[in-house]
Amino acid sequence: MNDQLRVRRQKLEELRDKGIEPYGARKFDRQDLASTLEKKYGKDDKEELNNDMPKTKIAGRMLAKRGKGKVGFADLYDRTGKIQIYVRKDIVGDDNYKIFKKSDIGDFLGIDGEVMKTDTGELTIRAHHVTFLAKALRPLPDKYHGLKDVEQIYRQRYLDLITNRKSYMRFVHRTQIIQAIRDYLNNRHFLEVETPVLHNIPGGAEARPFKTHHNALDIDLYMRIALELPLKRLIVGDMERVYEIGRVFRNEGLDTQHNPEFTELESYAAYWDFHDVMDEAEGIIRAAAKVVTDDGKITYQGTQIDLGKPFRRVHMVDLIKEKTGIDFWKPMSLEEATKIAEDHDIKVEKFWKVGHIINAFFEKYCQDTIVDPTFVYGHPVEVSPLAKKNADDPRFTDRFEIYIMGEEYGNAFSELNDPDDQRARFEAQMEERAAGNDEADLIDEDYLRAMEYGMPPTGGLGIGIDRLVMLLTDAPAIRDVLLFPTMRPKKVEGVDEEVKEDLKKKNKKN
């Protein structure tokens, strides 16, 4: 146990000796927050305010203290921000002043006092009485630099939230962004629903799932990798407009863009096609952006992006032609396409068809070049097992993805509602699986049965919420927008032996 922990435990005992139980407070009748004080008195004239002396009660965690003999200043923080307090020995009395003097950075205090402004014009609460609310036994990170150790930021997020206001606000914005999306969809008569996280067959996306086991039923279950198939069953169930914002799980690598669990929005609207969904997606992204910007202009990692102007809409084949000069509109055999791919440094997998090659050209030569918000549409049918074929050219689908600064933010299509076609697509996926693609979709017979009861034409959309929040809050890594990102476990330092000894002694005394 280091000196600081020891000192804080001593202070804990001193408080008890004075008859103050350091964790005894049940509640505190708080009357103002930093924000309400600013709103009520922020613009008041100093002289008038200091004559009026309006009374208030505030509470918060003390994060800075500036002593000055028989008078002291401190900064308390509540959920809305900072409140400076001013404590005078001649006002609060000797005993109460000592409690203030002995309290540590990190402790929770409640202040009865009056609102005033200092010589520098800062709104301040002059204390009449300091109520001790809770003790912090461990010292907080450096107040000036904040917590910098990224490992500690992720493992002990509470420390990051206490010391890094920017990070704190980012998570506030995350919640507000999700709320804005809900409002947008609710206003358009979408019904928010909840579907199972535990699936018998993981489907709706190409990804490796997490496997788990239910004891009573003695069956293996999978954590969902997408929301898609249950939601489309609800479209079959005539709910017409549904959405879900929920966690999905993919058993894959993790890096700055990927976490094993992440939050996805999926929405489905009957009688819409993928053009309607493009409008919807633009609307959702703009509504979300309003949380952080008035004019739709944002800066992500130094690059200016305008989310306010209409997104570009470009066919995947046209974009490939634009970037490489290769024309995949021309009918092409697999041999021809493979030759072109190999000439362009693209490794062709055994199970690939022409469509996979076109998609690979897009990913290798186009994706990274996209900066402004862009809908890339018309994905090949081979890589789009759940999307409706294009009416004029069945090699492609009525599908689009949203790209901004080379990163994918959403995936959408006119939903395939022909059960026989869907069965054929699933079977093609099973062939891929047999040929070595262990992420290919499995056949979901119940889903096919549902579709046979009739599914209206439907436009579906999926948006990665975490990535959208990253974009809007200028976060460089997905971990920065996840309160508790997935980490390899580390031995947590246990209660020190000396602390245990102390507690033992105390228990004997009592």
Partner RNA sequence: GAGUCGUUAGCUCAGUCGGUAGAGCAUCUGACUUUUAAUCAGAGGGUCGACGGUUCAAGCCCGUCACGACUCACCA
Near RNA by CB under 7 A: residue from 88, 129, 344, 353: 88
- Please report whether residue 265 would count as binding RNA according to CB under 7 A: no
Question: CB of 165: closest distance to RNA in angstroms?
Answer: 13
Q: Which residue has the tokens 């969904």?
A: 277
Smallest distance, Å, CB 272 to RNA?
22
- # binding residues, RNA (CB under 7 A): 72
Of the residues 64, 134, 197, 201, which one makes contact with RNA according to CB under 7 A: 64
Stretch that binds RNA, among 35-43, 101-109, 271-279, 387-395 (CB under 7 A): 101-109
Q: CB-hemisphere CA count at 13 Å for 446?
A: 10
Q: Which of 56, 58, 65, 381 binds RNA (CB under 7 A)?
A: 65
Binding residues for RNA restricted to 455-484, rule: CB under 7 A = 464, 466-467, 476-479
Q: Does 411 bind RNA (CB under 7 A)?
A: yes
Which parts of 339-398 interact with RNA (CB under 7 A)? Answer: none
H/E element, 462: strand 458-464
For residue 351, which of 437, 422, 430, 427 has the smallest C-alpha distance? Answer: 437
The secondary structure element, H or E, covering residue 131 is strand 123-134
* Separation of alpha carbons 431 and 424, rounded Å: 11
Question: Which residues in the 273-312 window bind RNA by CB under 7 A?
Answer: none
Q: How far apart are CA 378 and CA 319, in angstroms?
A: 11
What DSSP element (H or E) covers 232? helix 228-236
- Can you tell me which of 27, 29, 43, 69 binds RNA, judged by CB under 7 A? 69
Q: Stretches 1-9, 171-179, 187-195, 425-433: which one binds RNA (CB under 7 A)?
A: 1-9
Q: What is the DSSP letter of 382?
A: G
Binding window for RNA (CB under 7 A); candidates: 140-148, 178-186, 312-320, 427-435: 140-148
Residue 465's beta-bridge partner residues?
none
Sign, CA dihedral 466-467-468-469, equals: positive
Across the beta sheet with 211-214, the strand order is: 198-199, 219-223, 211-214
Of 84 and 176, nearer to RNA (C-beta) is 84
- Furthest C-alpha separation in the chain: 91
Q: Is the dihedral of CA 26, 31, 36, 41 positive or negative?
A: negative
Of the pair 10, 175, the CB lying nearest RNA is at: 10
The phi and psi torsions of 121 (rounded to 5 degrees) equal 85, 10
CB of 74 to RNA, least distance (A): 8
- Residue selected from 97, 184, 190, 262 as contacting RNA according to rule CB under 7 A: 262
- Choices 111-119, 165-173, 321-329, 441-449 (CB under 7 A): range interacting with RNA: 111-119
Q: Which of 17, 29, 47, 151 binds RNA (CB under 7 A)?
A: 151
Query: Locate tokens 């693609």: which residue?
Result: 437
DSSP string covering 65-103: EEE-SSEEEEEEEETTEEEEEEEEHHHH-HHHHHHHHHP
Please answer whether residues 85 and 68 qualify as being in contact, where contact means their C-beta atoms are separated by less than 8 angstroms: no
Q: By CB under 7 A, what part of segment 202-241 binds RNA?
A: 205-207
Contacts of 79 (CB under 8 A, 6+ apart): 33
Q: How far is the CB of 362 from RNA (least distance, A)?
A: 12
Instruction: Pick the closer one to RNA by CB: 39 or 148.
Output: 148
* Nearer Cβ to RNA (79/143): 143
Comparing CB distances to RNA, the nearer of 262 and 447 is: 262
| CA distances from residue 383 to 38, 119, 303, 419, 501 in whole angstroms, order as listed | 55, 68, 31, 18, 63
Per-residue interface string for the shown chain with RNA, residues 117-136, x marking contact by CB under 7 A: -xxx-x-x------------
Residues 430-449 that bind RNA (CB under 7 A): 439
